[in-house]
Amino acid sequence: MDDAKLNAELPGAPVSRPRPRRFRWAMLVAGVTLVAIANILLKYPAGSRRLCGLPAHATTTAEVCPQASALVPEKNGALWSELTALHATDAFLQRAVGRLSAAVQIPTETYDEMGPVGEDPRWITRGPFVEHLTTAFPLVHAALNLQKVNTYGLIYTWQGSDATLKPLLLMGHYDVVPVAPLSADQWTYPAYSGYFDGENIWGRGSSDDKSGVIGIMTTIEVLLEKNFAPTRTIVFSFGFDEEAGGYHGAGHLGPALLERFGPNSFAMIVDEGSGYTDQFGAIFAAPAIAEKGSVDVTIEVQTPGGHSSVPPEHTSIGILAALIVHLEANAPTPVLKLGSPPFEMAQCLAAHGPAVPHALKSAVLRAKHSKKALKKAEGMLLEDPMFRALVGTTQAVDIVSGGVKSNALPEQALAVVNHRIATQSSVNATITRDAALVKDLAARFNLSVTAYGEPLTPAAGAYGTLSLSAPRSLEPAPITPSAAPPFQLLAGTIRTVLGATYGDVQEVFVTPGMMTGNTDTRFTWALSEHIFRYGHGNMIGGLGGIHTVDEHIKVDSFIGMISFFTTLILNADEAAL
């Protein structure tokens, strides 16, 4: 999700920021972080089945949101136990923190519309970061094959002993969003200090996503120190411009992996994404099995110019304003669909969240068997703005421009409408809907309409023109099956790691989730049917300042990431995938 030398230590005082209850629910439904591990599956008492709205044939919540069993490595059980103990030591903590702190101090900022690598000088900040990886992880660079793609994209391959097993692909990105100059003095510690106060590592990228990259690299370095040799090949792919769409980084890494390994060649892919938090009386985690699509629709109005002292009834800007008002008054209506990732997440929360309000629990659990209950559940869930945004296709007018002089009629005005496309919709359905909406209104202003290169109305006799274009778009991602072995392996791994921390205090559950935005996995769809966006971040209490002032990560969360990657690699090494 800088300008300093690589440094590492530092003391201080922890800072906590409570978050309102509603925001924490929003974090869950947005898929920005959640994933759970169930230690014990709760049964509704026989007399409460009717009260909670379960269908007559359902006897346990396991039938609504079945939970994978906690999964502990067997063949590598002794190594796993040894490493689990090592991760709990202060010496290991200091070593891991030092590597992340040094990484944060390297400013790898990504801006929109950067030029090609080798031409735009802003890319050179990646060089010091790649060098940091080389010096901080010597065993990785001695034992693994490193392929550099488009200069700064990195593919590490750890060859397994059994070539018949599909590899595991772990991903991350090491670029960061820029620090706004006007907000630089608002940081508790300088944005690129990598300051460690004993409980948190502070700085841009500490959470998004240098912690993921350094966490993976630390995991591999330690496994190599313990002479672990994988049975299953493991591949690591690190992009360097995810924050601007990944076109220069993962946009080249994905095709390189496809050329080298072929289609559907990976057993599973895990990239950055959601984590876990406490919700409704339990710990919930939600590995994202889906991502919304996106498209930017540019709406441009052109009309005759002239002197502003003799204006027409409507200028191009006035017409564009009317079109924007019309679009916003007719925004897409979100619909909660059975079987969609948001619905499955709601079912899991209703089934396993002890503190879910009764009315919501009853409606959600009955929804599969009752249209009336589905409509009631939809109404209650869509009251939350974040859940509403998760379920439906959204639209936001983010850019407007027009006019050059106060006394000259504007000959051109345009707006850019950003859509995040629901999993049950498509790019074509979204842009076609926009065209239909503005076409009807354009007739009122006597404008000819061209939509995406196709004329919709005749140009002859028109006062002006209205054109729509969508130069860049992305379909919703394929939905990863949550009943398949890779999801069960991931969920069982999460159960094991979180169960060790929270199992005696709160129950832990895993639910399929989804992302409202997109990760670098958009370039890997052809590589596997089993793609997950999950970073094992601790989001209890907040998002850690991602993309804003005071970005930080709790040290316990960072060490937990390393334990997660360790357990995942060892579990995958002996699993039938």
DSSP letters along 327-377, please? HHHTPPPP---TTSHHHHHHHHHHHH-TTS-HHHHHHHHHGGG-HHHHHHH
173 annotated to a ligand binding site = yes
Backbone φ and ψ of 554, nearest 5°: -70, 140
Catalytic entry in 2, 109, 175, 221? 175
Residue 416 β-bridge partners? 298, 399
Tokens, residue 350: 């209703």
547 annotated to a ligand binding site = yes
Do residues 474 and 492 make contact, with C-beta atoms less than 8 angstroms apart? no
271 annotated to a ligand binding site = yes
Neighbour count for residue 45 (Cβ, 10 Å): 9
Find, among 79, 106, 552, 531, the residue nearest to 287 by Cα. 531
- Using alpha carbons only, give the angle 453, 458, 461 rounded to the nearest 5 degrees: 130
- Catalytic, 242? Answer yes
Say if residue 103 is exposed, middle or buried (CB neighbours under 10 Å; 0-12, 13-18, 19+): buried
Residue 545 β-bridge partners? none
Q: Containing H/E element for 487?
A: helix 485-502
Residue 196 β-bridge partners? 201
> CA dist 450 to 177, 228, 238, 317, Å?
36, 61, 41, 18
90 annotated to a ligand binding site = no
Find, among 391, 387, 571, 365, the residue nearest to 487 by Cα. 571
Q: What b/e sequence results for 142-173 when a residue is b if at least 16 CB atoms lie within 10 Å of its CB, and e otherwise?
A: eebeeeebbbbbbbbbbebeeeebbbbbbbbb
- Catalytic, 131? Answer no
Catalytic entry in 209, 241, 242, 520? 242
Neighbour count for residue 459 (Cβ, 10 Å): 12
> Maximum Cα–Cα distance for the chain, whole Å?
85
243 annotated to a ligand binding site = yes
Binding-site residue ranges: 173, 208, 243, 271, 547
Annotated binding site for Zn(2+): 173, 208, 243, 271, 547
Q: Which residues are catalytic?
A: 175, 242
